[in-house]
Structure 1
Amino acid sequence: MRGFFRPLLGRVARRRWIHLILGGALVMPYVLVGAVIVGPVSGSSDVFTSLPLQLASFAVGLPLAAITSLFPLTRPMSVAAVRALCGVDAGSLADGPARSRAAKGRTAAWFTLHLGLGGIVSGMSLSVPPFGAVLIALPVFAGLRDTRLGLPEVLGRPWGLALAPVAGAATLLALAGCAAGCGALLARWAPALLGPGLEDRLAAAEARAADLAVRNRLARELHDSVGHALSAVTLQASAARRLLDTDPEFVREALAAIEDTTRRTVGELDAVLGVLRDGDAPGTAPAPTLAADLDGLLRRTRADGPPITAEVDTDPWALPPVVSREAYRIVQEGLSNALKHAGGQVPVTVRIEAVDGHLEITVENPLGQGPSAAAARPGGGHGLRGVADRARLLGGAAHAGEADGAWRLWVRLPLKGPV
């Protein structure tokens, strides 16, 4: 028995019934406007008491509803109501206003269908329950058999009285079935009429791509700034531990370098994390650039032990800001790789030059000294991929590998164009 009534009066059916009644409430202003039009046209003043004129007002009001559904808020409001009341998968519905003509047409069709079925079911919900209740109570209460109530004469006969409760119950079940059927119809058509079109899918894909680009950029910034700082601090602390008793002056310099490195890294980390916190403004620490901090980067890295030869054949202050910023991170990653994989005493050469409208960056160190790349920490290699990503986003190119008995990182960035 429960399985019979669940499709008619279960939780999903009741919520869909409420959704239909909401459509009936929304259609009422349009019906009133329709009555204002139908009354003078028909020449009758009984618009609100004549069923044919009421149906005519309803028919006139629905096209008006279709026109007003072109407002941008119609689809978001309809989608919210469907998600809350119709039991439709939220992922099958579109978000935001309709953008294209086709999407607006589907929204108008949905709005008209919802208000049309809602108006019918709402009218039935107001009139059928009292009528069914009267039929059910008719054999018990003689006063209900008054002919002035407009009941059929057959109900005054004995067999008619006996069948009246059955007819009343059947009427109520028919109402529930009609509401359940209309609710199921709306739920079935909702994904087709309110679902995402091609434009919505493209907009969602662009939003996901933009979000992924931001996430990847934050990951690169964290890897390059924090990874370089940890590599440098590890080497400085290791050297200071070895020379603690024999060279106190070197230990003091190493500790000062550690302090400077960590202070700068904390500022950069705060700037990156500020973007991740909802409602927080980004950190105030400026992004490092070649113009602002190349000398400091080289000085801090030399404090870790390796001799670094730097050849800068361009004016860093003349570089576009975005190129200067990305180039700084690329040089930083190249030095970090040299420290991690070649050892702390291997000479490193850094060359930065402008060639044919491009900025070329080369970071090179000899092979065969210090720990090999195979001994690198597990999960390594993200830095070189980050360098390639930075170069590609600016329209440049990057290559890393063995060349002439050395490990070489070579990057070429355009000074104009995508930047």
Structure 2
Amino acid sequence: MSDATANTPIENTNNTVDTAEEMDSEIESLKKENEELRVQSESMRAKLLEANMLANNYLEEMEKLKEQLERITSPPLFIATVMETEDDMALIRQHGNNQEVVTQIPAEFKDEIEPGVRVSINAAFSIVSVMRKATDMRAQIMEVISSPDVDYDMIGGLDDVLNEVIESVEMPLTEPELFDKIGIEPPSGVLMYGDPGTGKTLIAKAVASRAHASFIRMSGSDLVQKFIGEGARLVKDVFQMARDKSPCILFIDEIDAVGGMRTHDGTTGSAEVNRTMLQLLSEMDGFEPRGQVKIIAATNRIDLLDPALLRPGRFDRVIEVPIPDEKAREDIFRIHTRHMNLADDVDMTKLAKMANGLSGADLKIIVKEAGMFVLRRRGEQITMKDLTEAFNKVTTEEEQNTASGMFA
């Protein structure tokens, strides 16, 4: 009896130990199972996220395909021009077949629809959108939106010419009330002529900069096109763009390329040039007013221009831009050397006397060549010797070019 009683606590202790070990083992098993479930959950979550991303991509692709299908299957639109308007109705003429129909003006386009406006229409002749004015792409390329970075203080020796151009071009744009008080119309255009390099283009840029106007620059040769009618259309588009961008200064350089005396040698080329010039004459002095569009033209050969181009009403002011005199040459030298490091022996008056007969462009080249001489010897100052050698080099090259041109 006593032996059985003594063994009972030992057995209970052993059972307790076994139970604890089993519980620890079960806990470890549950932890492992929990970790496996957590890993599976993370994997499923990543797959779900990937599936959502794929679904979104597929939805976007479906939307793109739907838009593309709608674009492909939708009927094309036609271009028409509004001929007349009355109340909420418009008479339009379809391009191509010239069919005229009367259609209703949509409420959202009432403020934009007017005679001459281009619109797109569907097969039912309903106005779908209002289009911008048709302008030749070449005319748009010619436009310079920002004013040129040139001022009057960068032009030397041309005070009289500048004053005439300012009165004719700048003042009508900046102070039109002065002309209204007197009761006169400002000059319609300015033609500058003179030898190459005298500053004609520079004056046009300076006026555009001061007037804070859009500046359209083109060469007369740009208006001479290959196919019949293209040159005249380009002239019309350029002037229309100038009106749309007003106040605007239209500068035609080398106008003798398109404004020469009219001749006919039996070829379509000369006839096309004549048509282009006739369109230019019409735009300069036609029925449609130019408004705040001022024209400046430049040429080296005024003797080649057609008399119709020179008459008052087209170019009211014909201004000669002369070769600079001694005082003007000194001013030009000072302008081009004002930012340079000059030695004390530089004598501008002597340089101006040496450069008799040279243009402003020639004087600028002389200053640049002198700077290149200093750069070549790794110097820091431009001396009188540098300027003299540059003068000799430039004048010698000009004499050689003139001589070779005589026997070419």
Do these two structures clear the TM 0.5 threshold for a shared fold by scoring above it? no
Higher helix share: 1
Higher strand share: 2
Instruction: Using structure 2 for the length normalisation, give the TM-score.
Output: 0.19
Structure label with greater radius of gyration: 2
